[in-house]
Structure 1
Amino acid sequence: MPAAPPAVSVIMPVLNEERHLRDAVRHILQQDYAGEMEVVIALGPSTDRTDEIAAELVRETASNPWGRVHTVPNPTGRTPAALNAAIKASRHPIVVRVDGHGMLSPNYIATAVRLLEETGAQNVGGVMHAEGENDWEHAVAAAMTSKIGVGNAAFHTGGDAGPAETVYLGVFRREALEQQGGYNEEFIRAQDWELNFRIREAGGLIWFSPELRVQYRPRPSVKALAKQYKDYGRWRHVVARYHSGSINLRYLAPPTAVCAIAAGLVVGVTLTPLGFVIPGGYLAAITAGSLPAGRGLPWKARVRIPVALATMHMSWGFGFLTSPRSLAKKVIESRRPAVTAPTQA
């Protein structure tokens, strides 16, 4: 008789997720997985109905022996603190990270557990598959899954299975999380990269597989998308200062574009109209790039793709350029050395 699959703890950091939380939890509880599950939601100080919806989910699953929902407080509202609180409150040997606006594919957990066993990895993850629910979100999703939007990032655009520096969300062996002491709470963003860096430094394997897919709901407005990508750029520069070998040309493209466009506008206004060739060329490039990215979408979504691309590129680049050294210094001072498991005598 085959052994029962390992029990799984799903941890969710949530803040102002009334729009998607119930659907995200439904995708967890309906997983095609024979093992026991629990869902631990870490509640930040939301200003919408998130807490009320979470309380309803706790009540609705109270008599469910294999998929109960629990909550823990996260008064700071910070994602890494939420994750650590949920890890501490959970109890199973496999820990699955899910965000409040992420929808797991039906066999996500079963596939991840199989990959952990097959590869010997400490953490496995897959594709962040952006899908929208209106014209703007469809445009953002198209931008986020195109190479002109995010370069060759495998967890956005897909790729071959294999070892990776980091992965989207992640399905961990609990022993790896406990060995490393969880997430570094100074990393308000990029906490996944930093934790995976320590796991790799300790000799652990991080594994990417396109078999794993999570539907991701994009930010609902230009303002929200701009803030998201400004934070991404800001914290990517912190990572670059934290670990000098982690930067590459893909990460330098947005700040270079911001500088070039700003210089072109200044030259165009003060010296010669030829300066406008640079911003004009950029607009032409993202417009042309949006055509294949928007294939099959309604025209109202397609015409918004260049706006989404420009918002992502310019916000990321601006965040990278304005990321203060003091923030990186604070994070570097909090550096946790990787912890290697003791060898057996």
Structure 2
Amino acid sequence: MHARRTRGGKRRKGRAPIWSAPPPVTVIVPAYNEAAGIQATVRSLVETDYEGEVEVLVVDDGSTDDTAALAAAPGYADVRVIRRPNGGKPAALNTGITQARHELIIMVDGDTVFEPATIGRLIRQLADPSVGAVSGNTKVGNRRGMIGRWQHMEYVIGFNLDRRAFELLDCMATVPGAIGAFRRSALVALGGVSTDTLAEDTDLTMALCRFGWRVVYEERALAWTEAPTSLGQLWKQRYRWCYGTLQAMWKHRRAVLERGPFGRRCLGYLTMFQVVLPLLAPVVDLMAVYQTVLGDPLPVVAVWAAFVVAQALTGWYALRLDGERVSALWVLPLQQFVYRQLMYLVVIQSVATAVLGVRLRWHTIRREGAFGGPPTEGARI
């Protein structure tokens, strides 16, 4: 492990630092079979409101479709397409880091589009020299259909609410691959993006925290991403996410013995709420079914109703914080019968895979082209 930095872990009070002039930025877009949406992604980066220089590097990671050609087709002056043999997302990101001309780097997935103000809002946080990385606010762009609505609620109630709490506790777990800003010097000091896990964004964020950098959340930096549209595709994505997170937690397990808040707070939270409780969830469901069929169902119904009410209140608060419509809450009760079971089964499978020592391969999923373009097979999320 690298020597720890001493840049002060607590959020500074008072007025936040600001740039004297907008610094130049490099945006890296790792892309593998992203023909369905790469042009929408690049266009959103070029049409930014940011007043500083923006260099866009599209790193085509051995795509078998027209990703590289489509990215280069508009002929934007500040967009450069780099082709490399297929080596995986971390290798593509490291290629972009090596080729980047500027100190401040933004990473964005090839299925994601930025709001015009997003780049400026991300970079504003890096004016504080103690901040090494910034997480943006990822939103589901394709919310039509029940699966899309469920994921929308999960992103708002789960991911984004968690990031607010992690920032307050100074122990951010993940800067998502869909939208994140970094200091190039911090990435280089860590040796670049690691290939050790299937959740390279979580692994990288944990490494930055252990190295002493602050990682913050910028809720106003919005990125719209394409979510899986079928249960099968959702399973593939979440299986990789969960397994990769377990890998990252195991890799950084020694952080619990180190000074600072990250190890005990972040790893403790992830262990309890993303591993232990999901593993116990099937037992709770089986007991509820048993009590309903062979006993008095009223206590089960009462507990379930109380749980839904508590979840609805949490969801209402999270939606208000995110500026989303509260009417989306109607899908929450239905989540208890399909989506919840899918998520804890993913955890069970991931834990079993890890315990058995099986090396999980990167799962590819189908792109539907939510932001324009035809569907494409085998894209990575």
Instruction: Provide the rounded CA distance (Å) in 1 between the counterparts of 2:155 and 2:197.
Output: 23
**Is residue 132 of structure 1 aligned with residue 142 of structure 2?**
yes
Say whether the 8 Å CA contact 1:143–1:309 is kept in structure 2: no
Two-structure CA RMSD over aligned residues (Å): 3.8
Deviation at 1:106, TM superposition (A): 1.6
Instruction: Provide the rounded CA distance (Å) in 2 between the counterparts of 1:288 and 1:130.
Output: 24
The answer for the alignment partner of 2:248 in structure 1 is: 239
What letter corresponds to residue 128 of structure 1 in structure 2? T
The answer for the alignment partner of 2:367 in structure 1 is: none
Among 169, 172, 183, the residue aligned to 1:173 = 183
Say whether the 8 Å CA contact 1:130–1:145 is kept in structure 2: no
Say whether the 8 Å CA contact 1:254–1:317 is kept in structure 2: no
Over 3 Å counting, the alpha-carbon distance change for 1:61 and 1:278 in structure 2 is farther
Deviation at 1:32, TM superposition (A): 0.8
The answer for the alignment partner of 1:142 in structure 2 is: 153
Over 3 Å counting, the alpha-carbon distance change for 1:117 and 1:254 in structure 2 is closer
What letter corresponds to residue 79 of structure 2 in structure 1? R
Partner SS state of residue 168, structure 1: coil
**Is residue 223 of structure 1 aligned with residue 203 of structure 2?**
no
Say whether the 8 Å CA contact 1:42–1:85 is kept in structure 2: yes
Taking the TM superposition and a 5 Å limit, the aligned residue runs for 1:110-125 are 110-125=120-135
Deviation at 1:134, TM superposition (A): 1.9
The answer for the alignment partner of 1:164 in structure 2 is: 172
Task: Give the stretch that moved more between structures: 227-236 or 253-262.
Answer: 253-262
Instruction: Provide the rounded CA distance (Å) in 2 between the counterparts of 1:279 and 1:230.
Output: 30
What letter corresponds to residue 120 of structure 1 in structure 2? S
**Is residue 101 of structure 1 aligned with residue 111 of structure 2?**
yes
**Is residue 54 of structure 1 aligned with residue 68 of structure 2?**
yes
Instruction: Provide the rounded CA distance (Å) in 2 between the counterparts of 1:102 and 1:239.
Output: 24
Over 3 Å counting, the alpha-carbon distance change for 1:159 and 1:52 in structure 2 is same
Over 3 Å counting, the alpha-carbon distance change for 1:144 and 1:324 in structure 2 is same
Among 206, 211, 221, the residue aligned to 2:220 = 211
**Is residue 70 of structure 1 aligned with residue 101 of structure 2?**
no
Over 3 Å counting, the alpha-carbon distance change for 1:31 and 1:281 in structure 2 is farther
Partner SS state of residue 145, structure 1: helix
- Unpaired stretches in structure 1, ≥5 consecutive residues: 329-345
Instruction: Provide the rounded CA distance (Å) in 2 between the counterparts of 1:80 and 1:193.
Output: 12
The answer for the alignment partner of 2:272 in structure 1 is: 252
What letter corresponds to residue 143 of structure 1 in structure 2? E
* Deviation readout 1:212-248 (Å, 9 max, x if unpaired): 2322221121111112212222122222322233532
Partner SS state of residue 220, structure 2: strand
Over 3 Å counting, the alpha-carbon distance change for 1:282 and 1:55 in structure 2 is farther
Instruction: Provide the rounded CA distance (Å) in 1 between the counterparts of 2:126 and 2:30.
Output: 23
Partner SS state of residue 61, structure 1: coil
**Is residue 37 of structure 1 aligned with residue 37 of structure 2?**
no
Instruction: Provide the rounded CA distance (Å) in 2 between the counterparts of 1:236 and 1:184.
Output: 13
Partner SS state of residue 70, structure 2: helix
**Is residue 196 of structure 1 aligned with residue 205 of structure 2?**
yes
The answer for the alignment partner of 2:341 in structure 1 is: 310
What letter corresponds to residue 18 of structure 1 in structure 2? A
Partner SS state of residue 153, structure 1: helix
Taking the TM superposition and a 5 Å limit, the aligned residue runs for 1:11-22 are 11-22=28-39
- Unpaired stretches in structure 2, ≥5 consecutive residues: 1-18, 257-262, 316-324, 360-381
Deviation at 1:114, TM superposition (A): 2.0
Instruction: Provide the rounded CA distance (Å) in 2 between the counterparts of 1:145 and 1:81.
Output: 30
Q: How high is the TM-score relative to the length of structure 1? A: 0.74
Over 3 Å counting, the alpha-carbon distance change for 1:280 and 1:261 in structure 2 is farther
Say whether the 8 Å CA contact 1:234–1:321 is kept in structure 2: no
Instruction: Provide the rounded CA distance (Å) in 2 between the counterparts of 1:268 and 1:16.
Output: 44
Aligned residues: 313
Say whether the 8 Å CA contact 2:90–2:195 is kept in structure 1: yes
Say whether the 8 Å CA contact 1:8–1:94 is kept in structure 2: yes
Instruction: Provide the rounded CA distance (Å) in 2 between the counterparts of 1:158 and 1:212.
Output: 17
The answer for the alignment partner of 1:320 in structure 2 is: 351
